[in-house]
A = this chain, B = another copy of it.
Amino acid sequence: MRPVVVAGAGMIPFERRDEDTLVDMMAVASLKAMDDAGLGDRAVDAVYVGNMASGLFNHQVSVASALVDRLSLMPAAADRIENGPASGGSAMKNGFLAVASGYADVVLVVGGEKMREVIGPKATDIVAAMTHPQAEYIYGVTLPALAGLFTRLYMEKYGVTREHLTMVAIKNQENGLLNPYAHIRMKITMEGVLKHPQAHINSPVVADPLHLYDCCPVSDGSAAVLLTTEEIAKDLKKPIVTIDGVGQATDTHTVHERSDPTELKAVIESSKKAFSMANAKPKDVDVAELHDAFTVLEIAESEQAGFFPLGEGAKALERGDTRIGGKLPINPSGGLKARGHPVGATGVAQIVELTWQLRGEAGERQVKKAKTGFSLNFGGFGNNVLAFVMRRKS
């Protein structure tokens, strides 16, 4: 396989964007990534769009074809890739393979989702369409419900407390304040979330034990990267950042089939594969973007991806190891919690953040001397996970 360089990265602020269509958002993010690469009039060979549910959210399919026209990139190949909340990660993987195989030299990967076009609980219902129709959905299971059950078990097994969960939220909201692309830009405190007389109103229960500030928001947004070969990247005058490891693994579709529901096998396996392909170890990683759709997931993934032993993730968090400036900064972008989670955009936004971090372009939230990055994009409730290892080469 040929080495694959992330030559350009761009995104639009995640927020509620009533004025933009899905294709509008993806087109702007794409132009930013192409401009960032300094692509000029060089042709794009293929476009990969990560998007979970444009049909259900926007009554539109074939959005990759729509995007390639909007950007006047015809006759570039164009496919949409769907893998629930890991749609962006799957689009990254397939875009990576198009370049790595030698089939394409310049590939645009775009993630996007416009979730706020539907009203109120409808978004939660559409997200729940990723659960098992006969074994989960029909019983009213939602993603927050699955996360609540998982959180309760994780707290009991590993001594994770409500304070730990809130520490993840506080840290990621702090990081989000430093990220102009973040959807939720506000400081929260342990006092306000847990101890204030109105804490139950400030952060009401969503799915016990998860409260509002344990859950990512419902966002609109898009992120894009331009992938190319080392040879072409040399002409483009940006620091060379490469994708060295790509891992993907699946687990049982339903959570209740797992012998130990706290064990996230797809996180473990996808991370191992990514590290093995990159010939790297977790200790080599300087900055990580994890999939904190719910606060507990950042702790669980930080352990099961291999950064901390089981049960030690919350302690590392307590010590400040995962803050910017700590031993392993996690989610300097603010993560899904603060940056937001326009579902199909997330896996690409993680790669955008790592690209900026590895290039030293992350501004106030820059992790110093970051040379190796890791991202994890969590599909379903852990049934289809992608992991990436990236490095700065020059």
Contacts and interface: CB of A to CB of B under 8 A. Distances in A.
A60 B133 contact: yes
Contacts of A59: 56, 129, 133, 137
Nearest to A94: B94
Contacts of A28: none
A152 interface: no
Nearest to A104: B97
A68 interface: yes
Contacts of A189: none
A279 to B, nearest CB: 16
Nearest to A99: B101
Q: In the assembly, how many copies of this chain are there?
A: 2
B253 A65 contact: yes
Interface string A49-72: 000110110111110111011100
Contact of A75 (B70, B77, B249): B249
B69 A78 contact: no
B53 A61 contact: yes
Contact of A62 (B21, B94, B384): B384
Contact of A56 (B61, B137, B269): B61
A392 interface: no
A132 interface: yes
A313 interface: no
A56 B60 CA distance: 10
A62 B379 contact: yes
Given A55-B55, A97-B101, A84 B61 contact: yes
Contacts of A81: 79-82, 94
Interface in A228-273: 246, 248-254, 257, 265-266, 269-270
Interface string A25-40: 0000000000000000
Q: In which size bucket is the chain A interface?
A: 35 or more
A100 B90 CA distance: 18
Given A61-B53, A129-B55, A130-B61, A251 B82 contact: no
Contacts of A76: 250
A79 B93 contact: yes
A67 B217 CA distance: 29
B379 A250 contact: no
A249 B93 CA distance: 21
Contacts of A58: 133
B65 A83 contact: yes
A74 interface: yes
Contacts of A1: 101-103
Q: What 4 A-B pairs have minimum CB-CB distances, sorted nearest first?
A: A101-B101, A69-B253, A77-B248, A75-B249
21 contacts: A1-B101, A52-B62, A55-B126, A56-B61, A60-B130, A62-B379, A64-B82, A65-B253, A65-B384, A69-B383, A73-B250, A74-B249, A74-B252, A75-B266, A76-B250, A77-B249, A79-B81, A81-B82, A94-B97, A101-B102, A101-B103
Interface of A: 1, 21, 46, 52-53, 55-56, 58-62, 64-66, 68-70, 73-84, 90, 93-94, 97-98, 100-103, 126, 129-130, 132-134, 137, 246, 248-254, 257, 265-266, 269-270, 379-380, 383-384
